[in-house]
Copies of this chain bind each other. A is one copy, B any other.
């Protein structure tokens, strides 16, 4: 057996979140072979449940990889060398999409804002031209907690440029924040398993509009990075490669749970935990980071203390693991999840611990 801490601390990071109980039970079910009618029925059921998650009646599929890979696959599969894409960039993850777009040979136009600031709709609109083919948006910047008004931005952008393909990094939003792929006219949305779905990291679910599907290009080669293969196979419930059957069991269990509880109730849980925690941080004299902060996590600081020290105390004395800042925010903030099971209770629990730590700090 792997040598792990016997009493693992409570993971409150904004992904990965702890596996839910239904997911744990599902993961170890007997593996079925993937070239069977039983697998095809199962996978079609999963893709149908994923439609509910994304609030779409269009195409869904599942890819093996992290959330980053899901977004990279969308960019690689939907756009061609030399095409222009506009990217809202205000944190570590959106920065990744700009670098990747350049790497792909796309003309990448970044709409830059300082890390943590929200990106105003007007700034995106100003950057778009009739030549812009794609718009890459990060719904919630996990590195800073900043949330985009996705509905408004996409509405404004598509009203002016209906041919745009809008790709949304919904990694830390779908399943935690209100998200309506079809109603908001999103063309490609990506969520990662280890976030609101409370699953092991290793898969991403993707929702694609008809326009997105129409711009996929088949290749003779297998090419793991081409979404066309996944979509083509998904239409009959099959998978282009050996699918991660055990992980799909876990996803199916989570999606069924979400359907059963209902998205509005789940979104409300995140919202309430977020509100409680953010109020608590302000009451402790701290700051909540992120312009229009997201309800899926809180990025925060506290007055006159090193946030890395605070995180060390939380783990050592209170058995709670929070994430730190990334890139230029290293050491300056801590980040806590409000997704999945890390709800109001976890928020209160953590606030209590923070209060205790601050009381002891001279």
Residues of A within 8 A of B (CB): 1-5, 8, 11, 13, 15-19, 22, 24-36, 38, 42, 45, 64-69, 72, 96, 99-100, 102-103, 192, 194, 200-203, 219-225, 241-247, 249, 252-253, 256, 321, 323-324
Could you tell me if B16 and A323 are in contact, using CB atoms closer than 8 angstroms?
no
Which residue of chain B has its CB nearest to the CB of A95?
B222
8 A–B pairs (Cβ distance < 8 Å), ordered by A: A2-B252, A4-B32, A4-B249, A27-B28, A64-B201, A65-B224, A68-B224, A102-B220
Bound Cα distance A288, B253 (Å): 41
Could you tell me if B32 and A11 are in contact, using CB atoms closer than 8 angstroms?
yes
A38 shortest CB reach to chain B, Å: 7
Known: A25-B1, A96-B222, A222-B100. A67 touches B242 (CB 8 A): yes
Which residue of chain B has its CB nearest to the CB of A226?
B103
Residues in B with CB closer than 8 Å to A256 are 1-2
Known: A72-B223, A202-B64. A246 touches B19 (CB 8 A): yes
Could you tell me if B68 and A241 are in contact, using CB atoms closer than 8 angstroms?
yes
Residues in B with CB closer than 8 Å to A67 are 242
Cross-chain contact of A8 among B29, B96, B201 (Cβ < 8 A):
B29
Could you tell me if A99 and B221 are in contact, using CB atoms closer than 8 angstroms?
yes
Could you tell me if A30 and B42 are in contact, using CB atoms closer than 8 angstroms?
no
A309 shortest CB reach to chain B, Å: 16
Could you tell me if A223 and B100 are in contact, using CB atoms closer than 8 angstroms?
yes
Bound Cα distance A312, B121 (Å): 59
Residues in B with CB closer than 8 Å to A25 are 1
Could you tell me if B28 and A24 are in contact, using CB atoms closer than 8 angstroms?
yes
Residues in B with CB closer than 8 Å to A5 are 32, 38
Which residue of chain B has its CB nearest to the CB of A257?
B1
Cross-chain contact of A68 among B33, B42, B45, B222 (Cβ < 8 A):
B222
Knowing that A11-B31, A65-B224 are A-B contacts, what are 11 other residue pairs whose CB atoms are under 8 Å apart, sorted by A's residue number? A1-B22, A4-B249, A27-B28, A66-B244, A100-B222, A103-B223, A200-B247, A201-B243, A202-B203, A202-B247, A225-B225
A48 shortest CB reach to chain B, Å: 12
Which residue of chain B has its CB nearest to the CB of A93?
B222
Bound Cα distance A11, B30 (Å): 8
A21 shortest CB reach to chain B, Å: 10
Which residue of chain B has its CB nearest to the CB of A315?
B36
Known: A27-B28, A201-B242, A203-B202. A224 touches B66 (CB 8 A): yes
Could you tell me if B222 and A99 are in contact, using CB atoms closer than 8 angstroms?
yes
Residues in B with CB closer than 8 Å to A102 are 220-221
Bound Cα distance A69, B63 (Å): 12
Known: A203-B202, A324-B35. A19 touches B28 (CB 8 A): yes
